[in-house]
Amino acid sequence: MSGIPAVVIAAPASGSGKTTVTTGLIGALRAAGHRVAPFKVGPDYIDPGYHAVAAGRVGRNLDPNLVGEDRIGPLFAAGSAAADIAVVEGVMGLFDGRILGAAATGPDDGEPAGDPVGFGSTAHVARLIGAPVVLVVDAAGHSQSLAAVLHGFIGYEPSIRIAGVILNRVGSPRHEAVLRQACARVGLPVFGVLRRNPDLQVPSRHLGLIPAAERSADAVRAVDAMTAKVGAALDLMAIVAAARTRIHRVTEPWSPVTAIGAGLVPASRPRPPVVAVAGGAAFTFGYAEHRELLEAAGADVVGFDPLRDRLPADTDAVVIGGGFPEEHAAELSANEALRAGLAAHAAAGRPILAECAGLLYLATELDGHPMTGVLDIVGHFGPTLTLGYRDAVAVGDSVAFRAGERVTGHEFHRSTVSAGSPTGRGEPAWAWRDHHGRPGTHGFAVGGVHASYLHVHPAGSPSAVARFVASARAASTMGEERAG
């Protein structure tokens, strides 16, 4: 594992201000001359966008649920390359992880059993990378009893090292003094104090913060404000010193070439297959490792913005990830040239991999706005949030997955899709059981299209990336033969 100093920014509960503190800390460390590697625990796509703006380098995710415990260390080491400190933002409360049914409770008496650290939790990742934790505490409403809260977190699981506290939303100098006394009572240093400041808010909507890629100049201004306010409030030298106490373990950094298997990538003839990846304001969700794996598998990766671009020349396969198409439906619909190009691409049997927002874009319409019509479904935005990890199995062979292949993915959406007609929808992409154990099928696999709401981390399924690029290569070869 990389020997780089690292600190994990956690909290007792969601809503404590982790993202603001983490983003501001990253920006402040960068301003102080550090090369900062930013990470986010869990499947979240949005927070890493703000981390990237602050750090000046890509933000990455560390999620044992999606990639497995054994890949966390190597992915951390790879993402920390050329940096001198890593800052990891946690998810939810420090010990909150995926609830695994029977694994979360004991026998019939219901007593707790097993590891007290939730699987995939901030604490889990901190332990895997050997990093100390700094707790961000929402101090509003807290007084002397904060000592008892902190005492509980310190003693709950000794393998998790809490190095100090950042007090957020502190009301007055007197309030600060009382809180500092509470922290001193349990032996935790205070690394910084942030006053209540309504200006330090990142605009949000139905699925959380508005992605940095959508807000562009506004995002930069927001990050600058967080950097200035948070940086001035924190003891950066103390935090860096805490980061240097990280327990170092030696491991090889994750390599996309190794993950793909260099010997399995045939020489491109006469050119590498072109994989077009959707981006721009409507499609901001994606993991950095995806492009790296596509390139390692031999693809020429080209980005395009569905709001304004045509399909790139010589495109053999298309990837359309997650995002917020419902916020840009009129603009997406207005780009008729791209809609027609994608429909023709799919009709020719060329590969398309679509997740969540990509699924909606392949529909005939979204909330009354015409989309590409690749799939005979209709998309609707609604009030109900669908959220959670899914243990899925591929129903049949597709351009990315083999029948019976198992993955753990993540759903996060407020939309639904309904059938436009009883025909033309192909086979389902996935099967899984819901939280009540009821089986169901999900998504669509028809022709060269694999589309569903499920987000899958490519580093957890590199064989799917290799298969997808092989499908693109086959499509390229067929095109050359037709042209000849």
**Catalytic site positions:** 356
Residue 482, classified by CB atoms within 10 Å of its CB into exposed (0-12), middle (13-18) or buried (19+), is exposed
Q: Where are the beta strands (DSSP E) in 375-438?
A: 377-394, 406-419, 430-433
Q: Tokens 């594992």 label which residue? A: 1
Helix (H) or strand (E) holding 445: strand 444-446
Nearest to 285 by CA among 218, 358, 206: 358
Q: Tokens 């500092």 label which residue? A: 180
Query: Torsion angle, CA of 464/467/472/474, rounded to 10 degrees?
Result: -170
Q: Where are the alpha helices (DSSP H) in 264-353?
A: 288-296, 329-334, 336-347
DSSP-derived 3-state class of residue 345: helix
Q: Where are the beta strands (DSSP E) in 215-314?
A: 274-278, 300-304
Task: Residue 83: count other Cβ atoms within 10 Å of its Cβ.
Answer: 19
- The token pair that represents 143 in the structure block: 């007084």
Q: Tokens 């794996």 label which residue? A: 293
| C-alpha triplet 258, 79, 40: angle, nearest 5° | 125
Q: Phi/psi class of residue 69: alpha, beta or left (left: φ > 0; alpha: ψ in -120 to 50)?
A: alpha
For 52-71, the three-class secondary structure string (H helix, E strand, C coil) is: HHHHCCCCEEECHHHHCHHH
| C-alpha triplet 136, 138, 143: angle, nearest 5° | 115
Q: What gap in Å lies between CA 338 and CA 352, rounded to an integer?
A: 14
Give the long-range contacts of residues 208-212, CB within 8 A, separation 24 or more: 208/44, 208/46, 209/19, 209/46, 209/47, 209/50, 210/46, 211/45, 211/46, 211/49, 211/281, 211/284, 211/285, 211/323, 211/324, 212/46, 212/49, 212/50, 212/52, 212/53, 212/284
Q: Where are the alpha helices (DSSP H) in 313-430?
A: 329-334, 336-347, 357-361
Residue 483, classified by CB atoms within 10 Å of its CB into exposed (0-12), middle (13-18) or buried (19+), is exposed
